[in-house]
């Protein structure tokens, strides 16, 4: 039973936030591939969140909501200038809403596919993956256009350490080892035809993972540093 | 409709960028989330900023909420805690620990969100925390609410880091057994 206890304690410390940076990386990676561990983490989130909910309420300032709406409008407008992943028509955004931010696109795609708010010009050929550490912190938005076979990756909130590079990997059982898809700058989008040589069923079902590598990328052809962000393309359910 | 169902519905509408649902969601949850953020940060002005960030995130990520994984208020509360702890760490890293303009809030005071089912679970959790030795309970709460690392706990409790780790593990195991779920 020690393993159960280990999983439980590790998951508990992950949620408490007491793991050191290296342990935290390992645990974050484990969440992606170890269902039992992910469940243990979710259980602790749920148990301990009760403590948050019993915290006495405090009335926020009267202008709080207005300030938030301003912030949302600004975020949406800023994203509008940077965004061309999907075409969006807006039927009723009331707050000078122009377009939504990258993270918002991804988040709403998950839930809203098929509603009036997002209007794909015809049959969808664009698929999107959010590469993130957890659901709160999207780092890159990856999109694949299955018509042109172009892969585009945009940084949302990714900070590279000095002297390191982010490298993108395609992970799929059929490939055996992860395949490098190239380096990712943290300040500009990259577009490449890198998927052309890969079967559609593979890149559609694969996990896209970002590892931290020495400057210029892995020397070995395999990931050498920790996987810090990962995600999958949203399924074709439109 | 229970408050949980209503929140879930509103959150799902917010995912579609429905501004009316966002207003309703804010009205129903902002005092609770602000309480959490204020408790963690204990700095009023910073707490106001962080609350704005939290609702921006909610607007952006409402679509990622999965009702089968927990109640909507829990999802939002966890998000509020994460943002607040991030801000707290930034303040600490900047060295400007000019704490604090809000009184410390102790656990134990019952003010559960208006969900009866939650109130039962909460009572059990508080009982189980009470059953921990005093300093072990404080350790868990300092980590959870103030983002204490093992090193910081080690300094605070004047014990080696490895001892802290052992205590945390024991406390977590005891808590889980006590909660029985």
Strand partners, A155: A140
Tens-place pLDDT, residues B5-46: 899 999 999 998 888 999 999 999 999 999 999 999 988 999
For chain B, what is the total number of helices (H) and then of strands (E)?
8, 0
pTM over 0.90: no
Enumerate the residues of chain B whose CB falls inside 8 A of the CB of residue A104: 17, 59-61
Nearest residue on chain A to B45, judged by CA atoms? A61
Comparing A104 with A236, the larger pLDDT belongs to: A104
A68 vs B26: CB contact, 8 Å cut-off?
yes
Please say if the pLDDT value at position A214 is more than 90. Answer: no
Count chain A–chain B contacts defined by CB atoms under 8 A: 191
How far A105 CA lies from chain B's nearest CA (Å)?
Answer: 8
Instruction: Tell me the DSSP string of B142-156.
Output: HHHHH---HHHHHHH
Enumerate the residues of chain A whose CB falls inside 8 A of the CB of residue B19: 92-95
Nearest residue on chain A to B179, judged by CA atoms? A47
Most confident of A25-34, A208-217, B154-163: B154-163
Tens-place pLDDT, residues A42-101: 899 988 988 888 888 899 999 999 999 888 888 877 666 554 333 333 333 434 333 344
CA B62/CA B8 separation, integer angstroms:
10
A64 vs B51: CB contact, 8 Å cut-off?
yes
pLDDT band at A123 (very low <50, low <70, confident <90, very high): very low
CA A35/CA B87 separation, integer angstroms:
30
B176 vs A67: CB contact, 8 Å cut-off?
no
The percentage of chain A sitting over the pLDDT mark of 90, rounded to a whole number, equals 13
CB distance A170 to A181 below 8 Å: yes
- What token pair was written down for A214? 């020495």
Enumerate the residues of chain B whose CB falls inside 8 A of the CB of residue A59: 31, 34
A51 vs B70: CB contact, 8 Å cut-off?
no
Mean pLDDT, residues B161-168:
94
- A55 inside 8 A of chain B by CB: yes
Phi/psi region, residue A96 (left: phi>0; alpha: psi -120 to 50; beta: rest), is left
Please say if the pLDDT value at position B109 is more than 70. Answer: no
Query: What interface predicted TM-score (ipTM) does this complex get?
Result: 0.86
pLDDT value for B10: 94
Enumerate the residues of chain B whose CB falls inside 8 A of the CB of residue A8: 172-173, 176
Say which residues have a Cβ less than 8 Å from residue A210's Cβ, sequence separation at least 6. Answer: A131, A139, A140, A158, A166, A167, A168, A169, A184, A227, A228, A229, A230
Query: Which member of B35, B112, B147 has the closest CB to residue A58?
Result: B35
Q: Among A138-147, A213-222, B65-74, B111-120, which is the least confidently predicted range?
A: B111-120
pLDDT value for A59: 93
B144 vs A16: CB contact, 8 Å cut-off?
yes
Q: Which of residues 60-99 of A touch B (CB under 8 A)?
A: 60-61, 64-65, 67-68, 71-72, 75, 90, 92-95, 97
């Amino acid at each position: 039973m020690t393993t159960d206890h280990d999983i439980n304690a590790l998951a508990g410390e992950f949620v408490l936030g007491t793991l050191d940076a290296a342990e935290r990386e390992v645990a974050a990676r484990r969440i992606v591939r170890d269902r039992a561990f992910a469940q243990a983490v979710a259980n602790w989130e749920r148990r301990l969140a009760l403590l948050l909910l019993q915290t006495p309420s405090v009335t926020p300032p009267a202008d709080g909501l207005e300030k938030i709406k301003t912030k949302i409008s600004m975020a949406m407008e800023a994203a509008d200038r940077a965004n061309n992943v999907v075409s969006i028509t807006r039927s009723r955004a009331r707050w000078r809403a122009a377009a939504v931010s990258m993270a918002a696109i991804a988040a709403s795609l998950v839930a809203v596919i098929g509603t009036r708010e997002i209007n794909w010009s015809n049959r969808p050929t664009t698929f999107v993956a959010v590469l993130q550490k957890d659901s709160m912190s999207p780092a890159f938005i990856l999109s694949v256009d299955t018509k042109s076979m172009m892969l585009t990756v945009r940084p949302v909130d990714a900070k590279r350490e000095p002297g390191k590079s982010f490298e993108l990997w395609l992970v799929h059982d059929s490939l055996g080892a992860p395949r490098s898809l190239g380096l990712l700058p943290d300040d500009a989008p990259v577009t490449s035809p890198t998927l052309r040589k890969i079967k559609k069923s593979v890149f559609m079902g694969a996990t896209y993972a970002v590892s931290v590598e020495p400057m210029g990328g892995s020397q070995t052809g395999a990931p050498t540093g920790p996987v810090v962000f990962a995600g999958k393309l949203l399924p074709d359910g439109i | 409709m229970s408050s949980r169902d209503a929140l879930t519905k509103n959150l799902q509408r917010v995912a579609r960028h429905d501004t009316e649902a966002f207003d309703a969601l804010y009205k129903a949850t902002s005092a609770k989330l602000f309480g959490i953020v204020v408790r963690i940060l204990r700095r009023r002005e910073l707490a106001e900023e962080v609350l704005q960030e939290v609702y921006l995130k909610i607007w952006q990520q409402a679509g990622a909420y999965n009702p089968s994984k927990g109640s909507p208020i829990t999802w939002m509360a966890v998000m509020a805690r994460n943002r607040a702890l991030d801000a707290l760490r930034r303040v600490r890293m900047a060295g400007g620990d000019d704490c604090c303009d809000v009184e410390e809030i102790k656990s134990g005071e019952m003010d559960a969100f208006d969900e009866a089912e939650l109130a039962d679970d909460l009572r059990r959790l508080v009982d189980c925390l009470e059953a921990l030795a005093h300093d072990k309970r404080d350790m868990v709460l300092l980590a959870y609410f103030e983002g204490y690392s093992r090193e910081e706990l080690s300094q605070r409790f004047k014990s080696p880091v490895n001892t802290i780790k052992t205590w945390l593990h024991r406390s977590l195991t005891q808590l889980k057994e006590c909660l029985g779920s």
